[in-house]
Structure 1
Amino acid sequence: MISINRFTESFTDDWEKFVRDSNNGTIFHTRKFLSYHSKGKFIDHSLIFYKNKKPLSVLPAVEIFESNNKVFVSHPGASMGSFVTPIDLSF
């Protein structure tokens, strides 16, 4: 079973370890880097995915407003964005 969780501080350790051990994670995907930005600058809506209670992927993202609509976008505070995947990605 895959679960999707909106990032909260309680996921920080799992997030950082996952990015460090991932296939494509960079410094720009770490919470340490993303938290560099001042509080309130972005509405964080990053996601962490679990499969059988183990991290499967992370996605740094924010919520923005565009034409009075909420829009989910890759984190604009990072120089690059994408899903971060494990070395052994398999479903």
Structure 2
Amino acid sequence: MRSFQIIKYTPEFKDDWDKVVQASKNGNFLHLRGYMDYHRERFNDESILISSEGKPVAVFPCNQVNTSIISHGGLTYGGLLYGNSLHAAEILEIFSSI
């Protein structure tokens, strides 16, 4: 099984983030950084990018509310966004790491 690295999102990862969203099964324009960042002053963004072997494979849009992390309160829906390259066991491993 592959190993995964959890990376806190920063603007330098914008292109990587957007590529993952565009190739994902469950993402849409709401999850692209241009849309998310438009309202960034309203949310304490804690989003993460997940990579394997130096390549981004998933993203998790989330923000902090008090002492909790939620899957992004500014979006219609959130959750882990990923493409066809991940299998169920790997997704469970990523959730465990998050």
- TM interval, short-chain normalised: 0.7 to 0.9
Runs of 4+ in 1 over 3 A off after TM superposition: none
Give the structure with the higher percent helix: 2
What amino acid maps onto 2:24 in structure 1? Answer: S
Whether the 8 Å contact between 2:5 and 2:51 is mirrored in structure 1 is yes
User: Are the structure 2 counterparts of residues 38 and 18 from structure 1 closer, same or farther at C-alpha, using a change threshold of 3 Å?
Assistant: closer
Normalising by structure 2, we get a TM-score of 0.81
Q: In the alignment, is residue 73 of structure 1 matched against residue 70 of structure 2?
A: yes
Q: Tell me how many residue pairs correspond in the alignment.
A: 86
Aligned residue for 1:17, secondary structure, equals helix
Hey, what does 2:7 align to over in structure 1? 5
Q: Identity rate of aligned residues, in percent?
A: 31
Aligned residue for 1:28, secondary structure, equals helix
Alpha-carbon distance in 1 for matches of 2:76, 2:52: 28
Give the structure with the higher percent strand: 1
Q: Structure 1: where are the runs of 5+ without partners? A: none
